[in-house]
Structure 1
Amino acid sequence: MAISPSPASNTKPPLLSAAEALSHLLKNPEPVEGRELVPTQDALGRVLAENIVSTVDVPPLDNTSMDGYAVATQDIPQPGVTLKVDQRIPAGSVGEPLKPKTIARIFTGAPIPPGADAVVMQEDCTTQAQSDLVQINSIPSMGQWIRRRGEDLSVGKVALSAGTVLRPQHLGVAASAGYAELPVKRRVRVAAFFTGDELSLPGEPLKPGGIYNSNRDTLLGLIRSLGCIGTDYGIVPDRLEATRQALRTASEDHDLIITSGGVSVGEEDHIKPAVHSEGRLDLWQIGIKPGKPLAFGAVRKQNQTGSEAWFIGLPGNPVSSFVTFILFVRPFILKLQGRSDFTPPSFLVRADFDWSKPDRRNEFLRVKLNAVGGLDLFPNQSSGVLTSAAWGDGLIDCPAGQGFKKGDMVRYIPFSGLLY
């Protein structure tokens, strides 16, 4: 965890671009060590620790994808042929070899009997009352409505790759491959605390001049939505020693410490000197809006010589904290988890408004998809208006100094692709 603190200087450093800041962040962490074996049904949201190789063919035998009749195509040279039903094959049973000039009644999922090479679905057949004769009304093609053995998975094939974040469909694949348990990486442990004497917790009386701490619930929700263990260390007083003690405590059992507020250069901003005292720190000014200051470093673990917990300090304004988490903390956590999908999904979508006064910084605008496939803008884009993020369903990535007009295509980052 080698981080070189920025040298003291009176020269104001240039603003980093979002891409430069992210590149600096992602150079540092290695995936956390440790894994565990969990029941497949309990592995939702976990990160797979190794490749999963199928123990069986899926499906195990050629089978029908339709209710109908298993036939030999050579017996049906033209529509209207009438043949005798000689056997009935429900799912879960195996039929006898098909006799010449006979057919088998078969149900979805049942194995294809030897001698049959197609299935005619029941809608294309006419049954004769009080008889075992069936008229075939269409000419079947060889192989129709047959699912082949191993067409989904074959024995020895990699069913799921290491690093996969396990969603419900992945659990189904693992189960079909024969796995009752899955090896997953241990959860990343993240501590969070919040600085500011003006902060109160919901349910407490507000202090004179105070506000409720919204960042606590937002950031812990973001941390936990990524499958991490999130520990809340609450509100830390604006005192240097209290901040140092919070860092020491949080570092002991965690891989990463996240703070909100106190990363500027005011007299009551104690994060910078506290982290310098307890570890190492770089303080970056990033050319984005909302958000600008970002602190990155590491804190020494007191009871583990040579070991450190990573540290990321976010700005205190609620939208700035939310956006910087999405842009920087999320990919950092993904790398700690051993994942490689750091870049959030984005799409070109039509803007249904003008943005005629671009900022000199890279802006991230809170927007919502409308009923006609365009994007609407929340009217107040202030970094203190968290309702803009609750109203919206994504961000527009607006490059520095670039505006756009209604009807232009813009880069849209949906929130739905970020919270996992």
Structure 2
Amino acid sequence: MSLQEIATRLAGYDAEDLHLDLARDFIAQALPAPDASQAERLPLRSVLGRVLAEDLISGIDVPAHDNSAMDGYAFRGAEMQPGLTTTLRIAGLSLAGELPAAELPAGHCQRIMTGAVMPPCLDTVVPQELAQHLGEHSIQIPADLLKAGANRRKAGEDLAQGQVALAAGRLLKAPDIGLIASLGQIETLVFPRLRVALLSTGNELCAPGQPLQSGQIYDSNRYTLTALLQRLGCIEVIDLGLVQDEPQALRQAFAEGTARADVLITTGGVSAGDADHTRQVMAVMGDVLFWKLAMRPGRPAAIGQMRRADGSSALLFGLPGNPVAVMVTFYALVREALLRMAGARPEPLPLLRAASVKAIRKKPGRTEYQRGIVSRAADGGWQVETTGDQGSGILSSMSRANGLIVLNHGQGGLAAGAAVDVLPFDALM
């Protein structure tokens, strides 16, 4: 389906003032499906941050047996009587990793360690610090201290045999690696890393490490985007460097990027400026739509399908050139799209509700992301204030901030003390 066909199917689509939610819907329809045939089986120590390519089914019960949740004494819970002290004779010791002992006669208990298999017919554990000793061989349990079945972990209570332990599309985190290991597996099937090529355009840009000429600024966007992509874990970054805003150089860079990568991300050259050749080269080499997003920062953007020599295509994201706008647009539109292309099923990013320390000015009709500093208020709740000037070129404000204040499309200005959504950077960076 062409991009124009997708656009005609979206009610309210307006490329000159595109609602952020419509842009997200558009991108979702333009995404190619991940190729499961390219999945690879890798050792557990190599899959952190990768995307699971198949449902992981538990082949065993975890735990495999009923076992004790703590150090104490195992006994029959039915021997406790309401309002009465229970007296039991100690018979032996159960250690973790040992075979369970033989069945005990009535009125007896077994000393047991955390993780040890519950002896036959015993179903309750009294913690050692709550048991009252009567010499070396007997204990008493105070009346009404426990319920039958207390402090026993049941076989399969974590995972039952045949249960889906992790679903395909899971972006694997540290606890997931331990979970897979708990099933006895030493490797797992994951999607290949999504290949993303980056380039910056603009004759005013200078590569870090080189002396600045008059009128130049250092290119920071590729370094920022590289870090954001690496943070996702399932991305292979291909840096195409700094490309002069000149047609032949742009054509060569776009051709290399589309040949080597699944996705091409550019920064700069997507506004309507007369000196920008990027728009023209994009339009010639692919099916590209240029947008003016109803958001701030990050109004100019492009989405495209860049053609390869073999007839296939790579997805294009053309981001604005201002450093803050690049990051905000990446979070608002690109991050989730890349995760889905990589095979993941990303969950919505968590929002924090905080009170605005000062009034915030905003007009309805666009989504705004303002840099904010979240802290604890005197009453223990969360509060947030902006970093000050919200110009999209003030990169230092992103370093000072610890979150983005999210002001939704239809929202107007806020009075001091009003509650507002904040996207914490800890969930992103």
Which of these residues, 395, 400, 424, is aligned with residue 386 of structure 1? 395
Q: Which moved more, 1:260-269 or 1:61-70?
A: 260-269
1:224-266, CA deviations, whole angstroms, 9 ceiling, x for partnerless residues?
2122001111100121110110000111121000000111122
2:218 corresponds to 1:212: yes
Q: Which moved more, 1:288-297 or 1:166-175?
A: 166-175
Alpha-carbon shift at residue 415 of structure 1 (Å):
2.5
Matched residue, 1:26: 28
2:293 corresponds to 1:293: no
Alpha-carbon distance in structure 2 between the residues aligned to 1:166 and 1:236: 35
Matched residue, 2:47: 43
Alpha-carbon distance in structure 2 between the residues aligned to 1:184 and 1:119: 42
Alpha-carbon shift at residue 15 of structure 1 (Å):
0.5
- Letter paired with 2:373: K
Matched residue, 2:408: 399
Alpha-carbon distance in structure 2 between the residues aligned to 1:268 and 1:359: 32
Equivalent residue runs for 1:111-190 within 5 Å: 111-128=117-134, 131-139=136-144, 140-190=146-196
- Letter paired with 1:48: L
SS at match of 1:27: helix
- Letter paired with 2:89: K
1:289-347, CA deviations, whole angstroms, 9 ceiling, x for partnerless residues?
11111011122222xx2111111110000001110011111121122122333643324
Alpha-carbon distance in structure 2 between the residues aligned to 1:406 and 1:363: 17
- Letter paired with 2:423: I
Alpha-carbon distance in structure 1 between the residues aligned to 2:181 and 2:257: 38
1:175-222, CA deviations, whole angstroms, 9 ceiling, x for partnerless residues?
222321111111110000001222222222222221111111111111
Alpha-carbon distance in structure 1 between the residues aligned to 2:95 and 2:46: 32
2:259 corresponds to 1:257: no
Equivalent residue runs for 1:26-105 within 5 Å: 26-33=28-35, 34-77=38-81, 80-93=85-98, 94-105=100-111
Equivalent residue runs for 1:357-376 within 5 Å: 357-358=362-363, 361-372=366-377, 373-376=382-385
Task: Verify the 8 A CA contact 1:315 1:321 in the aligned structure 2.
Answer: yes
- Letter paired with 1:171: I
Matched residue, 2:291: 284
Alpha-carbon distance in structure 1 between the residues aligned to 2:254 and 2:210: 25
Task: Verify the 8 A CA contact 2:356 2:385 in the aligned structure 1.
Answer: yes
SS at match of 1:26: helix
- Count matched residues: 412
Which of these residues, 386, 397, 421, is aligned with residue 377 of structure 1? 386
Query: Structure 2: which 5+ runs fail to align?
Result: 9-13
CA RMSD of aligned residues (A): 2.1
Task: Verify the 8 A CA contact 2:44 2:186 in the aligned structure 1.
Answer: yes
2:201 corresponds to 1:195: yes
Equivalent residue runs for 1:324-339 within 5 Å: 324-339=329-344
SS at match of 2:329: helix
- Letter paired with 1:133: S
SS at match of 1:124: coil
Q: 1:75 to 1:13 in 2, by over 3 A?
A: closer
Alpha-carbon distance in structure 1 between the residues aligned to 2:299 and 2:230: 24
Matched residue, 2:228: 222
Task: Verify the 8 A CA contact 1:334 1:342 in the aligned structure 2.
Answer: no
Task: Verify the 8 A CA contact 2:62 2:155 in the aligned structure 1.
Answer: yes
SS at match of 2:260: coil
Alpha-carbon distance in structure 1 between the residues aligned to 2:105 and 2:131: 19
Which of these residues, 271, 275, 285, is aligned with residue 278 of structure 2? 271
SS at match of 2:172: coil
**% same residue:** 35
Q: 1:47 to 1:13 in 2, by over 3 A?
A: closer
Alpha-carbon distance in structure 2 between the residues aligned to 1:195 and 1:167: 35
1:118-169, CA deviations, whole angstroms, 9 ceiling, x for partnerless residues?
111101113355x333333354421010111111111101111111111111
Task: Verify the 8 A CA contact 1:32 1:188 in the aligned structure 2.
Answer: no
1:11-49, CA deviations, whole angstroms, 9 ceiling, x for partnerless residues?
x95311111111111111123212111112321111111
Which of these residues, 404, 408, 411, is aligned with residue 421 of structure 2? 411
Which of these residues, 235, 244, 247, is aligned with residue 254 of structure 2? 247
Alpha-carbon shift at residue 269 of structure 1 (Å):
1.2
TM-score (norm 2): 0.91
Alpha-carbon distance in structure 1 between the residues aligned to 2:357 and 2:207: 38
Matched residue, 2:11: none
Q: 1:50 to 1:123 in 2, by over 3 A?
A: same
Alpha-carbon distance in structure 1 between the residues aligned to 2:343 and 2:86: 60
SS at match of 1:339: coil
Task: Verify the 8 A CA contact 2:170 2:345 in the aligned structure 1.
Answer: no
Alpha-carbon distance in structure 2 between the residues aligned to 1:116 and 1:218: 59
- Letter paired with 1:390: S
Q: Which moved more, 1:253-262 or 1:387-396?
A: 387-396
Alpha-carbon distance in structure 1 between the residues aligned to 2:110 and 2:150: 15
Alpha-carbon distance in structure 1 between the residues aligned to 2:160 and 2:15: 57
Alpha-carbon distance in structure 2 between the residues aligned to 1:294 and 1:407: 34
Task: Verify the 8 A CA contact 2:16 2:291 in the aligned structure 1.
Answer: no
Matched residue, 1:322: 327
Q: Which moved more, 1:350-359 or 1:102-111?
A: 350-359
Alpha-carbon distance in structure 2 between the residues aligned to 1:81 and 1:342: 51
Task: Verify the 8 A CA contact 2:2 2:287 in the aligned structure 1.
Answer: no
- Letter paired with 2:57: V
Task: Verify the 8 A CA contact 2:74 2:126 in the aligned structure 1.
Answer: yes
Alpha-carbon distance in structure 1 between the residues aligned to 2:284 and 2:221: 25
